[in-house]
Amino acid sequence: MAVALGGCEAENESNIAWQLPLQAPNDPHAAKEQAVLPEWAGASQGSVVLVFLNKETTKVESIKVETGQAVSMNGWEIQLLAVAKGLQVNENTFIDEKSVHNPAAFVALTLDGTLKYRGWLYQEFQELFGLDDSVWKVWINDVIVRAAVSEGESAQ
């Protein structure tokens, strides 16, 4: 007696959406080597305190940086490129909404000649954004945004 079971040979191999591997959507906050500074941010003035935690030694160091300034600390090259009082993302565009409290800083962090992070760091969301690798966690405190001085005015 011969039994034919032919149902499995022509099985359809189409992928069903819930069977596909999970992939995170594009994050506009993510740091990119070529992260572009918004036009409005180039005129921002202020300062920020960057805090560096070495996870291997548990040593914490901090340094205050002014916009446009590049400083060095223990192999790190730190540049503060912009500050914002109320950074928001609207349709993948960064805006500084003055009526919102969301202080942020656009930084470039290089360690021993290797770019480790270039992008926005948020004072209120330290655990979500910023440099957090196997050795380093970097966050910001004390974001100060100063009104830009126009060419006709002098700083008092």
Cα separation of 95 and 138, whole Å? Answer: 23
pLDDT of residue 154: 46
pLDDT of residue 111: 95
Q: Give the angle subtended at the CA of 33 by the CAs of 28 and 37, to the nearest 5°.
A: 60
Query: Which residues of the chain are under the pLDDT cut of 50?
Result: 151-156
pLDDT of residue 94: 82
Q: Given strand 45-54, what is the order of strands in its sheet?
A: 59-66, 45-54, 136-146
Q: What residue spans define the domains of the chain?
A: 37-146
DSSP conformation letters of 3-49: ----SSTT---PPPGGGSPP-PPP-TTS--TTPPPPGGGGG-EEEEE
Nearest to 135 by CA among 51, 53, 50, 55: 55
For 86-122, the pLDDT digits (tens) are: 887 877 778 777 888 889 899 999 999 999 999 889 8
Burial class (CB in 10 A: 0-12, 13-18, 19+), 99: exposed
Cα dihedral: 88, 143, 74, 81 (round 10): 50
- Non-local CB neighbours of 129 within 8 Å, separated by 6+ positions: 29, 119, 120, 121, 122
